[in-house]
Amino acid sequence: MLFNSYIFVFLYLPLVLLGYYIINYFKQYKISNVFLVIMSLVFYGYFNHSYLLIICGSISINFLISKILQWNSPKVYIKKTVLVFGIFVNVAIIFYFKYYDFFLNNINMLFGKAFELKNNILPLGISFFTFQQISYLIDSYRGETGNYTFDEYAIFVSFFPQLIAGPIVLHNEVIPQFRSKKNRYIIPENFSKGMYLFSLGMFKKVLLADTFGKAATYGFGTIETLSSIEAWIVAWSYTFQLYFDFSGYCDMAIGIGYMFNIILPQNFNSPYKSTSITEFWSRWHMSLTRFLKTYIYIPLGGNRKGKIRTYINILIVYLVSGIWHGANWTFLMWGGGTRDLELLEPAV
């Protein structure tokens, strides 16, 4: 279900808000959690109901693994093994759906083989909810998670405003807000702010991004015949389409969060105002940058192990960011190229 569709605006969203606040009015907080999880799964399954199996399976397995990680086992290697297994399961799921064909294609090309491709359809939001759950497993291993119930964990992963395209939230940002009783009732100021942000985001998406999108699509379709000035217009159009599309989505997601009194983290901070590549990445898709920094860059040693290791760590982070965006060499080159630009920055 799209945020910018009649069914979402006129049926789904009013129904979920109404149901959620009515159940909470009767102080049935547990039931309201379950209601929200079910409705979030309806939102997700509306695209393709076979995806439901993947997300439900992923939530259940990860919750189970996190519970094992939370046990106070005196043997560190057991916990470490479980964590590695948990991360492996998540990476394997995302690998199968997103990278399997890319991997086989390269094997076929490199060794002249003819392995049959799977042509898997990429389940929506898999990159987002997988990263979110990996972060949860690592935090469980570190002993930084609370004793959450299954419904709380399921809400943290599946809460529909952030399920399909982020922001990648952390458990300690969302679950305590759901636990707070005062958040269970309508707060008019939050609700009006949510409505305002939602309509602002929808305007950016529908009127601005989609208008630029028409020019970009036309331009990419006729790229060989474009004149110089047309090529510039198409390039600008795609630049603005990408900006308003993502900015609009983030505003809508954060706006819906406010309607439920849940404040989602900022994900987009006027990135085209940046004066450097480093600043740009601290403003664009901020929750992904935070994930990469906290769960990859710092555990690899960050900048604490000498210059060469720092460069390698930065390269790894950008390559992961590149391949996360898509299974193609172009994305990897884009990741590597961005790293090079960042390294060149001090010299410029």
Taking the least distance from each CB to other proteins, the nearer of 144 and 189 is 189
- Do residues 101 and 121 touch, judged by C-beta distance below 8 A? no
- Do residues 175 and 148 touch, judged by C-beta distance below 8 A? yes
Taking the least distance from each CB to other proteins, the nearer of 46 and 150 is 46
Q: Which residue has the tokens 């860059």?
A: 297
Contact pick of 175, 324, 335, 338 for other proteins (by CB under 8 A): 324
- Do residues 177 and 159 touch, judged by C-beta distance below 8 A? no
- Residues between 213 and 242 with contacts to other proteins, criterion CB under 8 A: 213-215, 218-219, 227-237, 240-242
Please tell me whether residue 268 adopts helix, strand or coil conformation: strand
Taking the least distance from each CB to other proteins, the nearer of 83 and 165 is 165
Q: How far apart are CA 247 and CA 205, in angstroms?
A: 8
Residue type, 304: R
DSSP state of 270: -
Q: Is the peptide bond before 271 cis (omega within 30 degrees of 0)?
A: no
Q: How far apart are CA 348 and CA 346, in angstroms?
A: 6
**Window contacting other proteins (CB under 8 A); options: 62-70, 82-90, 190-198, 339-347:** 190-198
- Residues between 248 and 307 with contacts to other proteins, criterion CB under 8 A: 249, 251, 254, 266, 268-270, 272-273
- Residues between 38 and 67 with contacts to other proteins, criterion CB under 8 A: none
Taking the least distance from each CB to other proteins, the nearer of 180 and 266 is 266
Q: How far apart are CA 307 and CA 75, in angstroms?
A: 35
Q: Which helix (H) or strand (E) holds 241?
A: helix 228-259
Pattern of binders to other proteins over 117-146, x per CB under 8 A?
-----x-xx-x-------------------
**Total of residues contacting other proteins (CB under 8 A):** 67
- Do residues 323 and 99 touch, judged by C-beta distance below 8 A? yes
Task: Calculate helix-pair angle for 210-221, 228-259, nearest 10 degrees.
Answer: 140
- Residues between 145 and 184 with contacts to other proteins, criterion CB under 8 A: 164-166
Shortest Å distance, C-beta 4 to other proteins: 5
Taking the least distance from each CB to other proteins, the nearer of 23 and 202 is 202
The backbone torsions φ and ψ at residue 346, rounded to the nearest 5 degrees and listed phi first, read -60, -25
Q: How far apart are CA 39 and CA 16, in angstroms?
A: 7
Contact pick of 206, 277, 315, 316 for other proteins (by CB under 8 A): 206
Shortest Å distance, C-beta 99 to other proteins: 13
Select which of 49, 171, 285, 325 is catalytic: 325
Is 325 catalytic? The answer is yes
**Window contacting other proteins (CB under 8 A); options: 34-42, 108-116, 209-217, 307-315:** 209-217
Decide: residue 75, CB within 10 A, 0-12 exposed, 13-18 middle, 19+ buried: exposed
Taking the least distance from each CB to other proteins, the nearer of 63 and 128 is 128
Catalytic residues: 325
Residues forming the site for other proteins (CB under 8 A): 2, 4-6, 9, 122, 124-125, 127, 164-166, 188-189, 192-193, 195-203, 205-208, 210-215, 218-219, 227-237, 240-246, 249, 251, 254, 266, 268-270, 272-273, 324-326
